[in-house]
Structure 1
Amino acid sequence: MAGDEETPKGMRIAGRLASGLVIAFLVLDGAVKMVPIAPVTETLAALGYPSDAAMARLLGLLTLAATVLYAVPRTACLGAIVLTGYLGGAMATHLRVGSPAFSHTLFGLYLGVMIWGGLWLRDARLHALLPIRRPTSSGGSG
């Protein structure tokens, strides 16, 4: 991946691990929606969406397409952006129906942090865009 040469090996490994976990989860999530079993369609109905197989498959296809974008190094940033929007919609849906905050509503936030954290750890180019800096001592009188 471009940018790897400036990223320390330990950070790259941690980033790939975090990204791999997210990718595995999202592939499983998308695949389950592509074969809309009863719990998928029942959950869609509970969230206020049409509970037909077509809606489940559409959501599964969107999940898988965005995940593929994220998994491919050249399009990983675009994939992270698309997944962020997708997860934001999921969070808004859970907020609207009154789902539990920490287990349901904020789950998209947890995934989003892993998505961007994994990408940041494995691609040094993001360090310039999203810097995490240590506090510096000012050395001057205050």
Structure 2
Amino acid sequence: MEQADPRELQSLQYYLNEYGQQAEVFARQLEMMDQQRVEAFAAIETLRSLGEAQDGTVLLPLGGGVSVRATVPDPEKVLVAIGADVTVERSNEDAISFLEGRARELEASEKKVAETIENLKGQMNEIAARLDAAYRQQQQIAPGR
């Protein structure tokens, strides 16, 4: 029985660490996309209730769990950030459609990122199994070390 090449073991350990770091980055990205999607749905619900408000009074969140009652003079016209620091005025229904489209795009992106994470985990499991087998082989060759 021959001993495993230390350079190969070191290389496998390096790849295992790299894949682990990549998986963490993708997991954080997945969390951010999920949060954006949840925010889009919350905005959609708010826009729908804004259109239904009799006197135009809504709760405006300020942060930290604090809200104020605010009167919206024209609930049928809202400002929508469309990216690159550009904001446009849209009708309430157009804003809802825009947000629904954004939520669908985020959901599709989330699926792709989740697949990437699963692929990385599969590769990590293969590498970990190879490392484990190599270490067990070393222990069988030199059990007293």
TM-score (norm 1): 0.36
TM-score (norm 2): 0.36
Task: Answer with 1 or 2: which has the greater Rg.
Answer: 2
Whose strand proportion is higher, 1 or 2? Answer: 2
